[in-house]
Amino acid sequence: MVQVKNICCIGAGYVGGPTCAVIAYKCPHIKVNIVDVNPDRIAAWNSDKLPIYEPGLEEVVFDRRGKNLFFTTEVEAAVNEADLIFVSVNTPTKKNGMGAGFAADLAYVESATRGIASIAKSSKIVVEKSTVPCRTAESMRTILEANSTGDIRFDILSNPEFLAEGTAIKDLLNPDRVLIGALQTPEDRKAQEALVEVYANWVSTDRIITTNLWSSELSKLAANALLAQRISSINALSAICEATGAYVDEVAYACGCDKRIGPSFLKASVGFGGSCFQKDILNLVYLSEQLNLPEVAAYWKQVVDMNEYQKKRFVERIIKTLFHTITNKRIALFGFAFKKDTGDTRESAAITLCKHFIQEQATVHIYDPKVSDEQIFLELTEPGLLDNTEEVKKRVIITRSPYDASQDADAIVIATDWDEFKKLDYTRIYQTMHKPAFIFDGRLILDADKLQQIGFSVHTIGRPA
Ligand code: NAD
Ligand code: UGA
185-231 per-position pLDDT tens digit: 999 999 999 999 999 999 999 999 999 999 999 999 999 999 999 99
State yes or no: 273 annotated in a binding site: yes
- Cα-Cα-Cα-Cα dihedral of 274, 280, 286, 292, to 10°? -140
State yes or no: 222 annotated in a binding site: yes
Q: Does 276 participate in catalysis according to the annotation?
A: yes
Residue 98's pLDDT band, with cuts at 50, 70 and 90, is very high
- Ligand 1 atom closest to residue 131's alpha carbon, by position in its atom list: 32
State yes or no: 142 annotated in a binding site: no
Nearest to 87 by CA among 13, 9, 181: 9
- pLDDT (tens digit per residue) in 66-87: 999 999 999 999 999 999 999 9
- Ligand 1 atom closest to residue 111's alpha carbon, by position in its atom list: 18
**pLDDT (mean) for 20-24:** 98
What pairs with residue 181 in β-bridges?
158, 211
Q: Check residue 147 and give its pLDDT.
A: 84
**pLDDT (mean) for 317-346:** 97
Ligand nearest to the CA of 235: 2
- Ligand 1 geometric centre to CA of 5 (Å): 23
The pLDDT of residue 1 is above 80: no
The number of beta carbons lying within 10 Å of the beta carbon of residue 49 is 8
- Ligand 1 geometric centre to CA of 408 (Å): 41
Ligand nearest to the CA of 265: 2
- Ligand 1 geometric centre to CA of 108 (Å): 9
Burial of 73 (0-12, 13-18, 19+ CB in 10 A): middle
The pLDDT of residue 418 is above 80: yes
Peptide bond into 436 cis (omega under 30): yes
Residue to probe by mutation, ligand 2, list 235, 280, 311, 338, most atoms within 8 Å of CB: 338
CB-defined site of ligand 1, < 6 Å: 10-16, 35-38, 41, 88-91, 108, 111-112, 115, 130-131, 161, 163, 165, 275-276
Closest Cα to atom 6, ligand 1: which residue? 11
Nearest to 346 by CA among 277, 409, 283: 277
The pLDDT of residue 446 is above 90: yes
381: left (phi over 0), alpha (psi -120 to 50) or beta: alpha
Closest Cα to atom 17, ligand 2: which residue? 164
Closest Cα to atom 29, ligand 2: which residue? 272
- Ligand 1 geometric centre to CA of 96 (Å): 20
The pLDDT of residue 149 is above 80: no
- Sequence length of the chain is 465
CA distances (Å), origin 41, targets 22, 130, 358: 18, 18, 32
Q: Check residue 387 and give its pLDDT.
A: 79
State yes or no: 271 annotated in a binding site: yes
Q: Check residue 348 and give its pLDDT.
A: 98
- pLDDT (tens digit per residue) in 34-66: 999 999 999 999 999 999 999 999 999 999 999
State yes or no: 249 annotated in a binding site: no
- Ligand 2 atom closest to residue 171's alpha carbon, by position in its atom list: 5
Q: Is the pTM of this model over 0.80?
A: yes
The pLDDT of residue 148 is above 90: no
- Ligand 2 atom closest to residue 220's alpha carbon, by position in its atom list: 11
Instruction: Check pocket membership of 165 for ligand 2, CB cut-off 6 A.
Output: yes
Mean pLDDT of the chain: 96
- Ligand 1 geometric centre to CA of 15 (Å): 6
Q: Check residue 291 and give its pLDDT.
A: 96
State yes or no: 17 annotated in a binding site: no
**pLDDT (mean) for 246-251:** 98
**pLDDT (mean) for 102-114:** 95
Instruction: Check pocket membership of 2 for ligand 2, CB cut-off 6 A.
Output: no
- Ligand 2 geometric centre to CA of 146 (Å): 38
Considering only 392-396, 439-443, 450-454, which range has the smallest mean pLDDT? 392-396
